[in-house]
């Protein structure tokens, strides 16, 4: 949960942030993007702990990569991250408006999603820490479609209120992560779309499903919501095109109730499938993923005890039609 901070600490963080945001907002976007890239380069050189974490995640996710490719991708990822945080997050509200959205964002392969939006049928949207995850809910709200997103509140309430005001400018509703599921249930009942950043580590009580050749702990709440309300899950990705602030929003999967209802373990199938969709997003632009993210922090209990993978887990993996024999062998060996 969010930590308590003194008023002095809160204001000492908030005022410099507002000053920084004011400066960034006055500067050309091209300059801000270049500056963000430079900050990322500095972080890559100086922050050994995060650099090594990112490189280790890349090595394990792309075992075919050379060491030079691993280093290059880690560096690009850190550059992108700081461009996202220091330039795009600040400039997005002034750039993306109802009259300018077509200039910066193109939409492709969203026919099923569009149909539900037009007919005011709720959909669960998921994405990962790839591309511009903040842009997705914001863009839908700019277009006039109601959506609520689950998010962790920031530790500093002054900064949290400032960020919320930006996010909610056009109607995006932010629901706090702590105890937010009942609120989302109520909103779905009101035909409001809901969104999740779905690649966060869920701890030892999460459901372990495949993600880049390793099992990753994933929250069960998304699948449970979809099953309870019998609504589809749209895996949507905002991928930057080129080096400027231009994005293409696409859907890498659209999971319907009919596809999971006949499955022996529907919750496992849903959870594994949308993780597979997020992996597809990342593979399309791996330099735009937050590789220093601790996605694989929690491990299955049998693995921590040095025991082999249980037959039940192997059976669950074998039920996933997209996994090849090589994929299965790699997961079992890990």
Q: Write the pLDDT tens digit of every residue in 11-27.
A: 999 899 899 999 998 99
Q: Write the pLDDT tens digit of every residue in 47-106.
A: 999 999 999 999 999 999 999 999 999 999 999 999 998 899 889 988 999 999 999 999
Q: Write the pLDDT tens digit of every residue in 257-286.
A: 999 998 999 999 999 999 999 999 999 999
**pLDDT at position 1, please?**
46
Q: Which of 176, 261, 279 is nearest to 218 (CA)?
A: 279
The CA distance from 68 to 174, in Å, is: 40
The CA distance from 300 to 202, in Å, is: 11
Mean per-residue pLDDT of the chain = 92
pTM attached to this predicted model: 0.93
List, as one string, the DSSP characters of 81-141: HHHIIIIIHHHHHHH--TTTHHHHEEEES-HHHHHHHHTT---EEEE-SBS-HHHHHHHHH
The CA distance from 24 to 27, in Å, is: 5
Report percent pLDDT > 90 for the chain: 75
Taking the C-alpha atoms of 206, 211, 214 and 215 in order, what is their torsion angle to the nearest 10 degrees? 20
pLDDT band at 321 (very low <50, low <70, confident <90, very high): very high
The two beta strands, 233-240 and 247-255, are antiparallel
* Neighbouring C-alpha atoms within 13 Å toward the C-beta of 83: 26
Instruction: Name the DSSP letter for residue 3.
Output: P
Q: CB atoms < 10 A from the CB of 187, how many?
A: 19
Q: Write the pLDDT tens digit of every residue in 289-314.
A: 999 999 999 999 999 999 999 999 99
Tokens standing for residue 301: 């209990």
């Amino acid at each position: 949960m969010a930590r308590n901070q003194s008023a002095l600490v809160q204001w000492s963080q908030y005022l410099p942030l507002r000053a920084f945001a004011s400066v960034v907002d006055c500067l050309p976007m091209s300059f801000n993007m270049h500056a963000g890239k430079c900050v990322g380069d500095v972080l890559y050189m100086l922050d050994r702990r995060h650099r090594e974490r990112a490189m280790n995640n890349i090595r394990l996710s792309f075992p075919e990569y050379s060491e030079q490719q691993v280093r290059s991708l880690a560096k690009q990822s850190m550059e992108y991250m700081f461009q996202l945080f220091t330039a795009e997050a600040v400039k997005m509200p002034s750039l993306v408006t109802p009259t300018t959205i077509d200039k910066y964002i193109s939409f492709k392969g969203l026919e099923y999603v569009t149909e539900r939006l037009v007919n005011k049928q709720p959909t669960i949207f998921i994405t990962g820490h790839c591309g511009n995850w903040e842009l997705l809910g914001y863009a839908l709200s700019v277009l006039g479609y109601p959506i609520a997103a689950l998010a962790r509140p920031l530790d500093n309430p002054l900064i949290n209120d400032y960020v919320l005001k930006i996010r909610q400018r056009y109607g995006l509703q932010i629901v706090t992560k702590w105890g937010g599921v009942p609120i989302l249930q109520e909103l779905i009942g009101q035909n409001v779309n809901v969104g999740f950043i779905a690649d966060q580590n869920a701890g030892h009580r999460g459901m372990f499903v495949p993600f880049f050749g390793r099992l990753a702990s994933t929250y069960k709440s998304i699948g449970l919501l979809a099953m309870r309300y019998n609504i589809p899950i749209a895996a949507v990705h905002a991928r930057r095109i080129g080096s400027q602030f231009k994005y293409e929003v696409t859907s890498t999967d659209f999971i319907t109730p009919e596809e999971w209802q006949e499955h022996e373990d529907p919750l496992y199938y849903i959870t594994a499938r949308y993780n597979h969709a997020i992996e597809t997003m990342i593979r399309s632009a791996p330099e735009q993923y937050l590789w220093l993210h601790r996605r694989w922090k929690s491990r299955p209990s049998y693995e921590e005890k040095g025991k082999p993978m249980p037959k039940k887990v192997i059976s669950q993996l074998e039920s996933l039609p997209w996994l090849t024999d090589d994929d299965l062998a790699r997961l079992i060996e890990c």
